[in-house]
């Protein structure tokens, strides 16, 4: 009986020793989030103690134009200005002459139109002589022939009287320093023995004026 108890006690002691020899593995503790930031430095990026500090990059210089080149460009600009100056002066003088021509021709047309387009059978020679003094070129000869062969006989026979006035204009159509074309609106009142009452005609007239040694003269008149 005693022997049986001793055997049981020995087996129980052996089991306790076996349990004590077993070691449970320790589980590593892994944090839920990384603590801090890990800076990775490659070996190639690490500065060498023997190499010393890195030199600072130098700023790239801008494009520099040599002094001689700038001087040459300046001379070309000055020379170009000297060459262009006469042409600019001529253009300015031409424009100024044209402006003056417009003004002078408009005034001449306003004065000439009533004289050229009016007459009175009682003093035709005086009227036509005054008109011819305002004309020039081939138009003067045409006017003299028409008034002598057509207007004088008709006006004398029917006691014709025509009075012309400028209603509007002159408006410049085209202009150069020596020639200006203008447009006028002319009213003509005609009276004669052929009509019972004076008749009013509203006419549009294109008049060309030319510069001459004696001033601006009418070189053409066209009814529109």
17-42 pLDDT, tens per residue? Answer: 455 445 455 454 444 444 444 445 44
SS3 content of the chain, % helix, strand, coil (to 5): 45, 25, 30
Instruction: Tell me the C-alpha to C-alpha distance, in Å, between residue 186 and each of 56, 166, 183.
Output: 89, 5, 10
Percent of the chain with pLDDT over 70: 58
Q: What is the mean pLDDT of the chain?
A: 79
Predicted local confidence at residue 137, as pLDDT: 95
Residue 2 has pLDDT above 50, yes or no: no
**What pLDDT does 88 receive?**
55
> Which H or E run includes 146?
helix 137-146
SS3 165: strand
Q: Is residue 182 over pLDDT 90?
A: yes
209, β-bridge pairs: 180, 218
Q: Which of 82-91, 159-168, 207-216 has the lowest mean pLDDT?
A: 82-91
* Cα–Cα distance, 220 to 54 (Å, whole number): 92
pLDDT tens, residue by residue, 5-18: 555 555 655 555 45
Phi-psi region of 159 (alpha: psi -120 to 50; beta: other; left: phi over 0): left
- Count of C-beta atoms within a 10 Å radius of residue 116: 24
Q: Is the dihedral of CA 145, 148, 153, 156 positive or negative?
A: positive
Q: What are the chain's domains?
A: 89-223 (3.10.450.230)
Q: Please give the DSSP secondary-structure letter assigned to residue 23.
A: -
pLDDT of res. 64: 59
pLDDT class for 130, splitting at 50, 70, 90? very high
Looking at the DSSP bridge assignments, the partners of residue 208 are 181, 220
The whole-model pTM stands at 0.60
């Amino acid at each position: 009986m005693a022997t049986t108890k001793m055997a049981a006690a020995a087996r129980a002691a052996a089991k306790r020793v076996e349990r004590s020899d077993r070691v449970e593995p320790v589980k590593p503790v892994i944090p839920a989030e990384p603590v801090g930031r890990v800076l990775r430095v490659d070996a190639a990026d690490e500065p060498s103690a023997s190499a010393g500090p890195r030199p600072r990059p130098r700023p790239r210089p801008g494009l520099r134009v040599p002094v001689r080149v700038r001087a040459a460009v300046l001379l070309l600009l000055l020379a170009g200005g000297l060459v262009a100056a006469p042409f600019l002066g001529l253009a300015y003088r031409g424009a100024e002459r044209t402006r003056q021509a417009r003004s002078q021709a408009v005034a001449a047309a306003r004065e000439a139109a009533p004289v050229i387009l009016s007459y009175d059978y009682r003093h035709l020679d005086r009227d036509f002589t005054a008109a011819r003094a305002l004309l020039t070129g081939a138009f003067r000869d045409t006017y003299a022939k028409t008034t002598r062969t057509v207007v004088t006989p008709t006006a004398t026979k029917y006691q014709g009287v025509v009075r012309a006035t400028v209603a509007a204009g002159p408006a410049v159509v085209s202009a150069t320093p020596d020639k200006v074309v203008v447009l006028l609106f002319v009213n003509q009142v005609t009276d004669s023995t052929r009509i019972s009452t004076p008749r009013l005609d509203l006419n549009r007239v294109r008049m060309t004026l030319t510069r001459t040694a004696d001033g601006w003269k009418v070189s053409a008149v066209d009814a529109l």
